[in-house]
Amino acid sequence: MKQPNYITCSCQNCNGHIKFDANEMRAGETRRVECPHCHLETIIFNKSNESGKVAPPEKILKSSKIELFLFELTRFPTVAGAVLVLLAFVVTAVLVVQTRLPEKPPKLPIISYEMVAPAPAITPNVPSNEGVFIPQGAKIASKNMFPQPVVDFLLKHQGFTLKEWLNHLNPEQKQAFLKNLAAVIVTANSQNLNGERIEQVVKDFAELWITMLSDDVAARAKDAIDKQVRFSQLTTEAFGLFISLMTLCLILVLLAIERNTRTNAKPRES
C-alpha cells in the first residue's frame, strides 16, 4: 500500500488550511468539499505532479486594506460625479430643446395720439379746421381696405401720401399701421386741429411707427443670432457632459470588475 501523501489546500472563503491525502485523487483533479473551518463549500485539488512532488501553491490574489480603502474612496466620488454630470446633462439637453422652439410672432407697434400730439399753439386765436368736412371716401375705403378715417384724411389732404411709409410694410403690417393711424386721426380731429397740424401728427405717427417696427426687427435679429450662439454653446457643453458621463460609468465598471476579481477575506491560521 502507498504511504499517505498529505497535502494542503486553502479554503477559497476563509483561507483556512484543508489537509487531505493526495493518493485519493488523481494529479490535477479538483473536488468540491465542505471546509472544516467555515463549513462553506470550497474546491480542493491535487497539486502533485506525476513524479509525486508537490507543485508550489498558487498565489491567490487578495486585496489589502489599503487597496480596499482606495477602491471605496474612488468609487464614492465617481458615483457622486456621475449623478451630478447626469443631472447637468439633462438640464443642458432641456435648454438645447428650448433654443430650438419656434419664436413668437412679432408684436406690431401701437402708438397713441399722446405720443405724437403737437405742442399747444402759441396764438390762441388760430382758426380751427376750415369748415366742416363731409366724408366722401366710402368707395375708396372698401376698395383699398383703408379705414374710413384714413380715407377721409387723404381726400381732404390731396397732396399728402402714405406711399413712402407703406412701401416698407408687408400686408399684415400695413393693416396694423392703417388701423392704428385711423385711431390717431380720429383723436386728432376731436382736438380741432387745423389741416397743417393734423398732417404733422400723421407724419410723426408714421415715422415713429416705422422706427419702432425697425427697432423691433433689429432686436429680433440680434436675439436670433444670440440664440444660435447659445445653441452652439449648449450643444458643445452637452456633448462634453455626455463624454464625461460615459467616462465615469466606464471607471465604475472597471472598479467593479477589479473589486470582484479579488478575495476580500482576511487570512486565517489553520
64-108 pLDDT tens trace:
677 667 777 777 788 888 888 888 888 888 888 887 777 777 778
- Grid look-up 433654443 returns 99
The average pLDDT across 126-146 equals 46
Cα–Cα distance measured from residue 18 to residue 44, given in angstroms and rounded to the nearest whole number: 8
Residue bearing the bigger pLDDT, 26 or 209: 209
- pLDDT surpassing 70 at residue 130: no
What is d(CA 174, CA 179) in angstroms, rounded to the nearest whole number?
8
Helical residues (DSSP H) of 169-194, grouped into ranges:
171-190
Of residues 37 and 252, more confidence is placed in 37
How far apart, in Å, are the Cα atoms of 151 and each of 104, 108, 179, 196, 222? Answer: 33, 22, 12, 17, 37
Residue 131 has pLDDT above 80, yes or no: no
pLDDT digits 0-9 by tens, 184-238: 989 888 888 888 888 898 999 989 988 888 888 888 888 888 888 888 888 888 8
Instruction: Kindly report which listed range (7-16, 141-150, 173-182) carries the lowest average pLDDT score.
Output: 141-150
Q: Output the pTM of the full model.
A: 0.50
Q: Is 31 helix (H, G, I), strand (E, B) or coil?
A: strand
| The amino acid at 138 | A
Domain boundaries, the chain: 6-45, 64-270
CA-nearest of 38, 26, 32 to 270 is 38
Helix (H, G, I), strand (E, B) or coil at 240: helix
Can you tell me the distance from the alpha carbon of 262 to that of 215, in angstroms, rounded to the nearest whole number?
70
Asked if residues 155 and 137 have their Cβ atoms less than 8 Å apart, the reply is yes
The C-alpha atoms of residue 174 and residue 115 are separated, in whole angstroms, by: 20
Residue 235 has phi, psi (to 5 degrees) of -65, -45
Cα(268)–Cα(149) distance, integer angstroms:
105
* Grid coordinates given for 235: 450643444
Instruction: Give 10's strand partners.
Output: 17
Torsion angle in degrees (nearest 10) through CA of 111, 115, 121, 122: -160
